[in-house]
Structure 1
């Protein structure tokens, strides 16, 4: 399943105040609304090609708004006079990029998160042709005219629709093209077109945060929200590992082989330093521990270099929106001497993690001949990792 993304951002947003420009280019939290929206999908690991539908007058505005993002997977098309026409242009563009499914999202919904996207994708993977994120209506609804209430409407079975509304691409593209051929322009969203085309629409729980910025106050409140959340989400994880020593020809510590008259006993290469650091990284996003991802009962990991485990932990951190800031390992051993190899170990860790060497630290101490370490029966390691998270779905 290849999920293409269509972000609709061709509107003028008059209700938000036209004098200040289209709402999708207003700045919240220091960046344009459309940049926040686009980043949510760029950070989502399941997103395929991304097509942003823009107004013909907004090319320079868009380029400036997203200049700080990695937009290699992003292309733009020009929208039409209506949202419906703009969506059709986006669908035709993403179909040319070989997507099998599509998420259609409003450019002015910048707070969509990974948890919601995963929930929708799961329904697409289960075979649903159309998926609508929505929240049950909680306010009492009144019908009125000329300033007076006519009746109270039951809110049972009523939902407030959100985006991204998501579909098997061929299904929604055919429905949109048929609606255009019949000059039907009265649909208020894409699921309405799917309903008209007799496509069953599944409902998944939406997100209260996934609001659409419509009027000027919405934009002001979004900016205040992001400004209040400007403090970095810094998380620290700890890891501990120990392996038994046995007769051998050397040990691997923090990715570096050191000749020695003993070796570390374990299913993989038994690198206690990298094992502890792997656990520390996984702890920063609640992703379990090394045994969850690389169980020792699995024969494929027999003798495997532990850099595989650490690299995967770093990948998981980044998939969750994390940036690794620091990695620190303390090795506890009577022998061999770590000092002559410390710099090489730091460089090894930095290469695996994709960060600068000065962000990696290796320290060593003996156990003063106390306990199993002091008796040279094993080596232990304690690791600490510091990661800053973006806050999107983490």
Structure 2
């Protein structure tokens, strides 16, 4: 595979990210020192295996694009896309028709954290396949919901994967598939779906949890916190740093219900945990551990139980907030360790899903997360099956804090 082009689709507005008429579209918002689009384009321009990069923009965005992305010898002039992502990709494919590359990688500008290893995995797999997409495991329980808002079925997630970009294809095959799809009037959510419809076999390679798509305002908060952390990397490489360990503990009692939330995973059970939020003792304990490591209060001081905003809230929100505070101080989460104390439910079958979920929330690798479980040998409230407790420790690395 010697002639490869990349198409970066950047024609959206970012309505779900809180876009207003006087705001720049999300791909031109800055995270750290660069725009989202500039960060998304850079890994493809720096990859020597990619000959050209074609960006597709929205009509009227020429000036803001020029101010966002620096010229590069392998960066082609931008082309105007259509109303749908599908139309924009087709515009990009047609724009490079004269180049007629062997393969093309199609990437969303809203994924600015794509890494070089992921790009190389897709390219490598294209040697033996006509289509390749990166995927990550689906962690949450998936429900099929009826038109009237009722749960119709629970979908088995063992075979489910969440698709990412860049998605790679043999150029002539995917261009022809897009042309057929346009003529048919069908609407597809990604290029792999068009390939499947056109009969192109699509292989999967391992995705990257950090290659997250910036969709909501909360996603941008996390991205900015990540940039703040990276801005302090020099303190670790060229200066001094310190390591801190924080601890946390939480307990919630059982009440009526049919499931519990534990370490970010919904587990069917004959009782629910009772609390102002979703009562996830594992995430609450870990949130306190992170806050303890940076000496910034506890979960109650940041999310008071008396505040109705947090009634029934997903505890992942609290943990993301604590991780963001660590990142804002230039810190890095090195390790997270949770011990769940209960008689039931069994934690073992859900351990890997818990580790993956926590890693995703924190933006770290799953091998930096440990989840363990123990019983209290029938003693105390946990032994009497009246509730669940959890204790956690978190290790963070910070630029040295001088008095």
SS at match of 1:175: helix
Higher Rg: 1
The Cα shift of 1:141 comes to 1.2
- Partners of 2:34 and 2:100 lie apart in 1 by 31
User: Which residues of 2 match residues 288-327 of structure 1 at below 5 A?
Assistant: none
Change (3 A) 1:177 1:147: closer
- From 44, 47, 53, the equivalent of 2:47 is 44
In structure 1, the partner of 2:145 is 144
SS at match of 2:64: helix
Cα pair 2:53 2:74 within 8 Å, conserved: no
User: Which residues of 2 match residues 170-249 of structure 1 at below 5 A?
Assistant: 170-184=172-186, 186-232=187-233
The Cα shift of 1:182 comes to 1.9
Cα pair 1:135 1:206 within 8 Å, conserved: yes
- From 110, 113, 122, the equivalent of 1:111 is 113
Cα pair 2:100 2:171 within 8 Å, conserved: no
Residue 28 (structure 1) aligned with residue 31 (structure 2): yes
- Partners of 1:98 and 1:193 lie apart in 2 by 20
- From 167, 170, 176, the equivalent of 1:168 is 170
- Partners of 1:219 and 1:71 lie apart in 2 by 30
- Partners of 2:119 and 2:58 lie apart in 1 by 26
- From 59, 62, 65, the equivalent of 1:59 is 62
Which consecutive residues of structure 1, in runs of 5 or more, have no partner in the other structure? Answer: 237-394
Residue 2 (structure 1) aligned with residue 8 (structure 2): no
User: Which residues of 2 match residues 63-142 of structure 1 at below 5 A?
Assistant: 63-67=66-70, 70=72, 72-125=74-127, 127-142=128-143
Cα pair 1:49 1:99 within 8 Å, conserved: no
TM-superposition CA deviations, 1:67-109 (whole Å, max 9, x none) = 3x63553321000111111100101112222321000000110
- Partners of 1:96 and 1:113 lie apart in 2 by 28
In structure 1, the partner of 2:19 is 18
SS at match of 2:110: coil
SS at match of 2:195: helix
- Partners of 2:73 and 2:215 lie apart in 1 by 26
- Partners of 2:116 and 2:126 lie apart in 1 by 15
| TM-score, with length taken from structure 2 | 0.55
The Cα shift of 1:232 comes to 3.9
Change (3 A) 1:179 1:33: same
Cα pair 2:55 2:79 within 8 Å, conserved: yes
TM-superposition CA deviations, 1:205-259 (whole Å, max 9, x none) = 11111111011111121011111111245869xxxxxxxxxxxxxxxxxxxxxxx
Cα pair 1:12 1:18 within 8 Å, conserved: yes
SS at match of 1:46: coil
| TM-score, with length taken from structure 1 | 0.57
- Partners of 1:223 and 1:96 lie apart in 2 by 39
SS at match of 1:229: helix
- Partners of 1:108 and 1:57 lie apart in 2 by 19
Which consecutive residues of structure 2, in runs of 5 or more, have no partner in the other structure? Answer: 239-403
Cα pair 1:95 1:169 within 8 Å, conserved: no
Change (3 A) 1:162 1:120: same
- Partners of 2:10 and 2:53 lie apart in 1 by 13
TM-superposition CA deviations, 1:178-197 (whole Å, max 9, x none) = 1112222x211101010001
Cα pair 1:102 1:167 within 8 Å, conserved: yes
